[in-house]
Amino acid sequence: MTTTANIANECENIKTLLLEKNAKYGDSALTPVQIFSKQGASAAICARIDDKLSRIKNSGLSDATEDTLDDLIGYMILLKIANKRSSKDIDLHGVGC
């Protein structure tokens, strides 16, 4: 398989994952219910990204953490969408994320 085909395949897999999870959980990542946490979408997604990065830091990358890597890619896409919706620039050094 060519690199181009591999890229297309991986992107399609992430797209499928995001669409399946959005259907299963509703639009909870981008419109959190805020029952317990009062964080907005971007801040909540950043917390999830931190959790995924922590798991990778602690466990490394392997077949056992492949789903974590996929989730991380998905959350980065969701963060991009959340930030476009809010029309705010994020500060990757702590304020916005």
- Give percent of the chain with pLDDT exceeding 70: 90
pTM for the full predicted model: 0.83
Of the candidates 15, 46, 20, the one whose C-alpha atom is nearest the C-alpha of residue 32 is 46
pLDDT for 89 beyond 80:
no
Give the Cα separation of 97 and 49 in Å (integer): 10
Residue extents of the structural domains in the chain = 3-86
Indicate the average pLDDT of the chain: 89
Q: What is the pLDDT of residues 38-73, one digit of tens each?
A: 989 999 999 999 999 999 999 999 988 889 999 999
Give the Cα separation of 66 and 55 in Å (integer): 11
pLDDT of residue 75: 97
